[in-house]
Structure 1
Amino acid sequence: MPRRPRLTGAATAALALGLVAAAPAPGSEPPVGDARVVARFDPAAGQRPENIAPAPDGSADLTFAFARTVARVAPDGTRTTRATLPAVTGAATPLVRGAVVTGIARAHDGTLYVNYATGTRATGIWRISPGGAPAQIAGLPPDGFPNGLALDGRRGVLYAADSVHGTVWRVPVSGGPATAWAHRTELRPARAGAFGANGLKVHRGAVWVSNTDRGTLLRVPVREDGSAGTPETRARGLDGIDDFTFPGAGRTVLAALNGSNQVVLVGRDGGHTVVLTAADGLAGPTSVAVRGRTVYVPSAAYRVQRDPNLLLARLRYHFGRL
């Protein structure tokens, strides 16, 4: 958010245990630990890591918002530039003014999709094919702010959250006109000039969206015909929530709270527990990703104005389908 994931009785029991979201016993280790900062970035060069897509080799692709770049960061902190979005003359992006690269999604073949917010016709979703140059595949309203982005490979569509218009846009993965898939009060900011719909994930038949200004986490069911169902508020009181992820197959969520400089674990009942703080190295976390047992947290330092970084931690518990 720029600022100016036939049996015997014994086998059945074992399976049931494997499907339960594990909860730490009293006195046991916290669910996330072993945090360490593996890379630090230069804010003067626009290197504010906004969103993240882990790669199969353990590295991660990051959008550097104001540098208009996508960089790959290896687990040892080594980084290379994957792509640079074209400069825009007269950028007038709502909320931030300058041109910014925001959400990122990764396809199985390594193709990357990113949101580019500029206040011009360049605003929209851009594709970065392996070894290729960025190409715009869909336009979005120049007076909006495309933020979180997710790929639904089964349906062959991309979803983008618009923080200004309180809208989730849907675009064919092959490119083409964008459709306002969901446009609801729950997705809009409560105040003028604030960020509404922000982070976005596709998970178990629904599109999940965070609303930064309202501090809420929403679940929007995808109906059989592909249309949007009625939004359900799954959690409240998440101050400055940005993007988030699912650490397992269930409804447990790891969320970045930019406003309070925390990463929290949100349970299926909507309650949340702090699992990472500034003491672990956070500096305004913007998103969270999980691959295997590795937790990735980029911090853009928009508020604290120092030490944007990438933090890695370890997920100590398994979270199943509940």
Structure 2
Amino acid sequence: MRRRILTLAVAAAAAGALAVPSAVPASAGIPASAVAPARSAPAARIAVHFDLTRGQLPENITLGPDGTAYLTFAAARQVAAVDPAGRTRVLATLAAPADGGVATPVLGFALTSGIVRTDDGTIYVLYASGDAASTGLYRIPPGQKPRRIAALPADGLPNGLALDPTSRTFYVTDSVRGTISTVPLAGGPARVWSSASALAPTGFLGVNGVKVRGGAVWATNLDQGTLLRIPLRAGRPGAVEVRATGLVGIDDFAFAPDGRVVAALNGPNTVVDIDPDGRTRTLLTGADGLQNPTSVAVRGHTVLVASAAYVTATDPNLIVATLRHR
């Protein structure tokens, strides 16, 4: 496992009780200089420390109605639940690649990535193994084992996962292939929905996080440092709108109730928020305990930040903070 963690750290380096809030898109073309150093959140606290040596590197997060955080542990191929008291329970472990030596492109190891939880308690998770027999989207009903419901390209890197409940459709980002694909909630073939150039990688990983909100699919591009909005036109993608730029190492994000976007900037060890009018501010930094933040979840004015420690290789953790009113 140590070898796999170090592999992840090298790959990431090439790119350059629980909660914190998220928000809505920023306006077009926000330059890096717009990211103000002023903090708009109080000092955070580390709610949970995870075990680096066991591959417990939290990659993605979603919340249950009782405040339980559901996480994917990237290097352990696991899905876990962290209750409001901070107790961690592993719910499922995805099978190792068939020959034991297959690895995902770029990263060099199998990992669990995007996660969604539906109202009935079913968890859906992405698994990138580099193996055609196991790479894909998995369904995990409560108390049951994972079952693949959609195969995804083994030479890609399925990363972000979002569900549009209205159309009962999943949107899946592939950070290596630079695409967003759709999969029916019931399962079935994945179909490329968009392969716009704004989604492409430029050296490491392209399109990353994804959400569905306000008649559009929102996504980030890690290499290009952008926040994107793609209108839904009768299920088809409209023209890509670049809503923010200069966001170095942007990973996943979430929406806050007031319309702000809260985003994790992995390499810089920073969490920022972006107003609908384009103002971007620093919320949290490494001084708050961030260790390569990968994803955020927001409920009310509380934000949860998952830190995978990909490069710091010190303390993967879950941080909680409170978002202040603007």
TM-score, with structure 1 as normaliser: 0.87
Percent of matched pairs sharing the same residue:
52
1:106 to 105, 117, 120: 117
1:96 aligns with 2:107: yes
* Superposed displacement of residue 110, structure 1: 1.2
Which amino acid counterpart does residue 266 of structure 1 have in structure 2? Answer: I
Aligned pairs (5 A) from 1:181-200? 181-191=193-203, 194-200=204-210
Tell me if the contact between 1:30 and 1:316 (Cα under 8 Å) persists in the aligned partners.
Answer: no
Q: Compare relative contact order (CA 8 Å, sep 6+) and give the higher one, 1 or 2.
A: 2
Which amino acid counterpart does residue 132 of structure 1 have in structure 2? Answer: Q
Tell me if the contact between 2:207 and 2:221 (Cα under 8 Å) persists in the aligned partners.
Answer: yes
For residues 110 and 258 of structure 2, the distance between their equivalents in structure 1, rounded to whole angstroms, comes to 35
Tell me if the contact between 1:283 and 1:304 (Cα under 8 Å) persists in the aligned partners.
Answer: yes
Cα deviation per residue 1:7-53 (whole Å; 9 max; x = unaligned)? xxxxxxxxxxxxxx9xxxxxxx9543251101111111111000001
Q: Which residue of 2 aligns with 1:7?
A: none
What is the SS of the residue equivalent to 2:46? strand
Larger Rg: 1
Q: Which residue of 2 aligns with 1:157?
A: 169
* Superposed displacement of residue 91, structure 1: 2.1
Q: Which residue of 1 aligns with 2:213?
A: 203
1:304 aligns with 2:312: yes
Tell me if the contact between 2:39 and 2:281 (Cα under 8 Å) persists in the aligned partners.
Answer: no
1:242 aligns with 2:251: yes
Task: Please list every run of at least 4 consecutive aligned residues from structure 1 whose deviation after the TM superposition is greater than 6 angstroms.
Answer: none
1:52 aligns with 2:55: no
For residues 292 and 202 of structure 2, the distance between their equivalents in structure 1, rounded to whole angstroms, comes to 22
For residues 94 and 155 of structure 1, the distance between their equivalents in structure 2, rounded to whole angstroms, comes to 31
* Superposed displacement of residue 264, structure 1: 0.2
Cα-Cα RMSD: 1.6
Cα deviation per residue 1:205-264 (whole Å; 9 max; x = unaligned)? 1111100000001001111x20111110000000100000001263x2000000210000
For residues 123 and 147 of structure 1, the distance between their equivalents in structure 2, rounded to whole angstroms, comes to 11
For residues 164 and 104 of structure 2, the distance between their equivalents in structure 1, rounded to whole angstroms, comes to 27
Q: Which residue of 2 aligns with 1:217?
A: 227
Structure 1, unaligned runs of 5 or more: 5-20, 22-28
Structure 2, unaligned runs of 5 or more: 1-7, 12-25, 27-37
For residues 198 and 207 of structure 1, the distance between their equivalents in structure 2, rounded to whole angstroms, comes to 12
Q: Which residue of 1 aligns with 2:23?
A: none
Q: Which residue of 1 aligns with 2:289?
A: 281
Tell me if the contact between 1:112 and 1:127 (Cα under 8 Å) persists in the aligned partners.
Answer: yes
